[in-house]
Amino acid sequence: MRYFSKVVEAGSFTQAGKAFNVSPSSLSRRVADLEKSLGATLLKRSTRIVKLTEVGQIYYNDVQHILNQIEQSEETVRSYQTTPMGRLRISSMVSFGDIVLLPLLDEFSALYPEIVLDVSLSDELSTLGRDDVDIAIRGGYAPNERVLAIKLMDNSFIPVASPRYLETHGVPENAMALKQHAGLYFKTPTGPTPWLCNKNGQWHDVSGPAVAISNNGAWLAKKACEGEGILMSTRWALASYLELGQLQELKFEHEVAITQSSTMAVYLLYQKQRYFVPKVKAAVDFLVERLQTTNAR
Amino acid sequence: MRYFSKVVEAGSFTQAGKAFNVSPSSLSRRVADLEKSLGATLLKRSTRIVKLTEVGQIYYNDVQHILNQIEQSEETVRSYQTTPMGRLRISSMVSFGDIVLLPLLDEFSALYPEIVLDVSLSDELSTLGRDDVDIAIRGGYAPNERVLAIKLMDNSFIPVASPRYLETHGVPENAMALKQHAGLYFKTPTGPTPWLCNKNGQWHDVSGPAVAISNNGAWLAKKACEGEGILMSTRWALASYLELGQLQELKFEHEVAITQSSTMAVYLLYQKQRYFVPKVKAAVDFLVERLQTTNAR
DNA sequence: TATATTGTTGCCTTTAAAGCAATAGTGATT
DNA sequence: AATCACTATTGCTTTAAAGGCAACAATATA
């Protein structure tokens, strides 16, 4: 079809041949083949002039359009490979999504209007691993050959309480004293998180009596603000309350945590090879820049 | 492109290979070549499943369209200056199809016995725009470079009622009085059609209380004949009832309509280039002659 | 865990496309 | 009117692309 089209435009097999760096004989044969397969004569040839027949004219118009479409389609695919666009599927922990991610993504959308965001908030980690997500944000990472994990920020839990609570019930002198205090417990997919204390290499459960247990951080934080008990949650989840003074951090001589493994962190996960897809690269770079520099290391 | 398309549809290189009587290895190579030339991965392969990537999906849609165009173009050339024959796909609005088109097509079939009619009646316009139809009949048209629209007949709605109804409830003196009358409402895909009246450039809703609402014109007409209320429908849909005197038109000083846009008409649509295909030309010419001369301008 | 199916890859064969030289036809020039 | 210059075509050869086969690796199902 390209050959035919060029022959028509050049009005000559020889000229068209030059455009393709192909011998006229080959062009002649290809066009003849095309005519044979269509069962119609497209070109009226004389040794001196080549012009379209009636059907040829009709066919030429069609071909013109078709070639255009093909080129346009190829262009679309190519630009797709270079310009960040398309659907970007992000999966994140619920609390992190609500507090940190979603506000950031508004800015991201403004930067890359051609990217359609598809955000799933879930604390289940099953969503990754399959190919149904481009980027995942999780606390801790499943070590996998093909998956790259970037530490975004610290994810260790800190104990907090409202000034009112501390006034009423007293500030716990040390970690062990937590046992005597009302507890607001955060529940992960693996169950509620106890209060643990590392004292001289030994771990002790210092959980106090439970007032409430939930996987909804905001609700627990509200309860903590209202002085219902002591809460352990992540620094980033509590940041706004700490700033306003609604809650204050409790500091102890001995480390307090909710798990014995010390490397608690929020990780950004994506498939190594997918980093070359523009939309993924754009998102990874954006998130790393905004989250890693400001809050973490 | 054909290979790629088939692989997508079959969801398997092996299956697609069978369709072409070609080994899977060859298909695999061709598709790989295509991907290389586009510089993009079109298919996500695992030994067990083959599915489109995001770019792949976009490209597949384009390819689909392109292959269609090529096929149509070949058909145009091959059938050039032959007798009208083959499958002719017509899409029409339901009511128009029932009342006007289908009766006419019997005659058409007698004229061109070698044409196999494939008629789809639907009020959705989604069927158009695609290349899966040779001729479409719609009320109104989307202006398009390649699509030609011929006005077949007027499509404005007129109010009618049975003599008995008018006897019992009185003939409405003016358009405003319609509000007091029982209404039989025709429902289009965009919703029920209210009664509107243009009075000194102002549009007023003069809909009366609804007795029945339906997208089935015949059923509403029957109800109207039985004196259940006033019906607004197109002149061509009501023609037989008006002739028999079962229904009579209500005329008012001020224009009554079902939409504020005045250019209501039935259009015959077809792709400009396809007029060269004998079967299409035959049908367009036939329909225009039979419909445009008798009822319209 | 074993099995069957599928996509890919290396190697070879087949088929299509390209190149070359010769031929025949045609419009312009003399 | 005859010649000339140029062009499309055709037979033959070369080259490149596509296809087939067997072996292999991967994966979902039993």
* Residue B50 CA, nucleotide D25 C1', distance (Å): 17
Asked if pLDDT for residue A269 goes beyond 50, the answer is yes
- Which 3 state secondary structure label does DSSP give A251? coil
* Alpha carbon distance B216, B194 (integer Å): 16
Check whether residue A18 and residue A90 sit in a common domain: no
Name, in order, each residue with C-beta under 8 angstroms of A218's C-beta and a sequence gap of 6 or more.
Answer: A95, A98
Partners of residue A58 in chain B, C-beta under 8 Å: 76-77, 80, 273, 276
pLDDT band at B280; cut points 50, 70, 90: very high
Bases of strand D lying below 7 A from some protein CB: 6-11, 18-22, 25-28
Q: In this structure, is the dihedral angle defined by the CA atoms of residues A169, A171, A177 and A182, taken in order, positive or negative?
A: positive
Rg of chain A, C-alpha, whole Å: 33
pLDDT at A117: 93
* Residue B276 CA, nucleotide C23 C1', distance (Å): 39
Q: How many domains does chain A have?
A: 3
Check whether residue B237 and residue B249 sit in a common domain: yes
Check whether residue A246 and residue A106 sit in a common domain: no
Check whether residue B169 and residue B288 sit in a common domain: no
Asked if pLDDT for residue A169 goes beyond 80, the answer is yes
pLDDT band at B244; cut points 50, 70, 90: very high
Q: Per the CB < 8 Å rule, is A63 touching B73?
A: yes
Last residue of a domain, one of A57, A82, A107: A82
CB B188 within 8 A of CB B123: yes
pLDDT in tens, A287-296: 998 888 554 4
Last residue of a domain, one of A82, A105, A129: A82
CATH code: domain of residue A108: 3.40.190.10
Partners of residue B76 in chain A, C-beta under 8 Å: 58-59, 62
Last residue of a domain, one of A82, A107, A142: A82
Check whether residue A48 and residue A185 sit in a common domain: no
Name, in order, each residue with C-beta under 8 angstroms of B125's C-beta and a sequence gap of 6 or more.
Answer: B138, B142, B189
Q: What is the mean pLDDT of residues A118-142?
A: 71
Asked if pLDDT for residue B227 goes beyond 80, the answer is yes
Tokens 């666009």, located at residue: A85
CA distances to A130, A286, B21, B63 from B8, in Å: 20, 34, 17, 11
pLDDT band at B294; cut points 50, 70, 90: low
Check whether residue A281 and residue A150 sit in a common domain: yes
pLDDT band at A216; cut points 50, 70, 90: confident
Asked if pLDDT for residue B198 goes beyond 90, the answer is no
* Alpha carbon distance B267, B222 (integer Å): 27
pLDDT at A131: 54
pLDDT at B219: 92
Closest CA to A123 of A170, A64, A190: A190
CB A157 within 8 A of CB A234: yes
Which of B44, B54, B78 lies closest to A39 in CB terms?
B78
pLDDT over 70, % of chain B: 95
pLDDT over 90, % of chain A: 45
* Alpha carbon distance B195, B178 (integer Å): 8
Q: What is the mean pLDDT of chain B?
A: 89
Check whether residue A166 and residue A248 sit in a common domain: yes
Check whether residue B22 and residue B143 sit in a common domain: no
Check whether residue A234 and residue A273 sit in a common domain: no
Whether A22 CB is under 7 Å from strand C: yes
pLDDT in tens, A65-119: 999 999 989 988 988 888 888 888 898 888 899 899 999 999 999 999 989 998 9
- Burial environment of residue B74 by CB neighbours within 10 A (0 to 12, 13 to 18, 19 or more): middle
Q: Per the CB < 8 Å rule, is B59 touching A76?
A: yes
In one letter, which amino acid is B283? Answer: A
Check whether residue A139 and residue A269 sit in a common domain: yes
Task: Using DSSP bridges, classify how beta strands A183-188 and A230-234 pair: parallel, antiparallel or unpaired.
Answer: parallel
Mutate to test the interface with A, among B80, B147, B271 (most CBs of A within 10 A): B80
pLDDT at B295: 46
Check whether residue B204 and residue B283 sit in a common domain: no
| Both structure tokens of B91 | 């899409």
- Which 3 state secondary structure label does DSSP give A192? strand
- Which 3 state secondary structure label does DSSP give A116? strand
Structural domain boundaries enclosing B22: 2-78
pLDDT at A132: 67
pLDDT band at B297; cut points 50, 70, 90: very low
Q: In this structure, is the dihedral angle defined by the CA atoms of residues A249, A254, A259 and A262, taken in order, positive or negative?
A: positive
**3-state secondary structure labels for all residues of chain B:** CHHHHHHHHHCCHHHHHHHHCCCHHHHHHHHHHHHHHHCCCCEEECCCCEEECHHHHHHHHHHHHHHHHHHHHHHHHHCCCCCCCEEEEEEECHHHHHHHHHHHHHHHHHHCCCEEEEEEECCCCCCCCCCCCCEEEEECCCCCCCEEEEEEEECCEEEEECHHHHHHHCCCCCHHHHHHCCEEEEEECCEECCCEEEECCEEEECCCCEEEEECCHHHHHHHHHCCCCEEEEEHHHHHHHHHHCCCEECCCCCEEECCCCCCCEEEEEEEHHHHHCHHHHHHHHHHHHHHHHHHCC
pLDDT in tens, B1-53: 999 999 999 999 999 999 999 999 999 999 999 999 998 889 988 877 889 98
Q: Per the CB < 8 Å rule, is A81 touching B39?
A: yes
Whether B46 CB is under 7 Å from strand D: yes
pLDDT in tens, B72-95: 999 999 999 899 999 999 999 988
Which of B38, B62, B80 lies closest to A40 in CB terms?
B80
Q: Per the CB < 8 Å rule, is A65 touching B69?
A: yes
pLDDT at B142: 66
Q: What is the mean pLDDT of chain A?
A: 86
* Alpha carbon distance A5, A7 (integer Å): 5
pLDDT band at B296; cut points 50, 70, 90: very low
pLDDT in tens, B141-194: 766 778 888 999 888 889 999 999 999 999 998 888 999 999 999 888 778 888
CATH code: domain of residue A216: 3.40.190.290
Whether A14 CB is under 7 Å from strand C: no
CB A136 within 8 A of CB A91: yes
CA distance A47 to chain B (A): 25
Asked if pLDDT for residue B136 goes beyond 60, the answer is yes
Whether B187 CB is under 7 Å from strand C: no
pLDDT at A267: 87
CATH code: domain of residue B42: 1.10.10.10
Check whether residue A146 and residue A290 sit in a common domain: yes
